[in-house]
Structure 1
Amino acid sequence: MTTMTSERIEVRRAIAADPAKIFGVLCDPQGHVAIDSSGMLMSAEGDVVTAVGDTFVVHMDRDALHDLDLGLYDVTVTIETFVPDREISWKILGRIRPQIGHVYGYRLDAIDEGTMVTSFYDWSAIDPVWREAGIFPVISETALRATLGILARTVAPGLPRPEVAG
């Protein structure tokens, strides 16, 4: 299921893992790099986040999107929402001024099969300079959905796979 407004995208996927296991990946800077489908996140530095206001650094390369030539650069992820095993969101702070102000995050709801994971990307509160630039959304619905697929195989790698004829 996908929800999209003019300033927010949400995609959902049932994942066969408990919320705590998924939340653990989402709190780990290395987890962000491991599940990224955009190809922009190269590596990360910092401790596992445990509260609103915690930060870590992500080393980026926007060449994967092939839209802006920013070279290699760093951003700071700052946690905005932190509800253990239920919700996490963050803003990206980088070298660009004014700061953009977009938010990424996940909501986790326990279901019989594991967890319903909702990934969201919200640019409703971005700085007017960036709104006028007309570059949003930077990340597509397809990229959010692909990241959920990578998250699923990361937290539930032993799931049975269909037979391949061959």
Structure 2
Amino acid sequence: MRSLVLRTLGGLVAAGLGLGVAAAPATAAATNEFRLTAGNAVGYGTYQQMMSIPERPVPPISITGTLAARSLWRCAVIQVGRSGPADGLEWQTVGRHCGPGRTSFRAQANYMFRAVNPPVRLCAGWNVNQAERGRRCDLYRPPAN
């Protein structure tokens, strides 16, 4: 009888630990993921806060993802915001794609003025230059710290 109780108790503890481990990454991933759509292009990925040590500092934000398009005659760009002159917002292109298919991108960014997390946007156009002008865009604003 005693071994049956111990086995049952052990099984319940293992199941509880398994559920706790499985639930933790799902909630963390949901807050860091983004999905943008502009025209026939889709951009999706993760937006993560990085940890740094004083001996080897790294930019505090890491953005990785994929840019996918279906149209043969369109282009799309992924851009990350940064502080410009006089506290303005400038867009830096970190990924570009033309035609059907996929392209992966990776970027590291610093905080903007007033320690604001930089936004990410996906823009579409007939060519890369037109997409970079930012007329047809979708914007992702990360949550505040």
Per the normalisation by structure 2, the TM-score is: 0.30
Q: Which has a greater percent of strand? A: 2
Per the normalisation by structure 1, the TM-score is: 0.27
